[in-house]
Amino acid sequence: QVQVVESGGGLVQPGGSLKLSCVASGSIFSINIMEWYRQVPGKERELVATITKSGTTNYADSLKGRFTISRDNAKNTVSLQMNALKPEDTAVYYCRVTNVNSGGYEYQYWGQGTQVTVSS
């Protein structure tokens, strides 16, 4: 009932910047949390950043200062601004949305992912 779509991935050189976007649509009543994760093949998916409806943010320690998460509640979107990118940032980046429907039930939805490659 809720669709999540990421965009903005691509190839960038080390030290460059990239901005990812995620849009949620469908049967949305209230989105509590929006998050960005990333995953390298063969490794565990890791949390990159999270943001609550009120705007409280949380980042992985190694990324704080380089990445910035933001959201637009009216548009049900979340963005991830990535600066000073490193080769180790290469991964598939996923958006996760936690939604409460009109019946008061909470569900989490994943996007399909967008590839980010940092290489010279």
**Model confidence over 52-78: pLDDT tens digits?**
999 999 999 988 799 999 999 999 999
CB 78 within 8 A of CB 85: no
Q: Which tokens in the block code for residue 18? A: 């990239």
**Model confidence over 9-59: pLDDT tens digits?**
999 999 999 999 999 999 888 999 999 999 999 999 999 999 999 999 999
CB under 8 Å to 117, separation ≥6 — which residues? 10, 11, 12, 90
Taking the C-alpha atoms of residue 107 and residue 100, their distance in angstroms, rounded to an integer, is 6
In angstroms, how far is the first alpha carbon of the chain from the final one?
40
Confidence of residue 120 (pLDDT cuts 50, 70, 90): very high
CB under 8 Å to 5, separation ≥6 — which residues? 22, 23, 25, 95, 111, 112
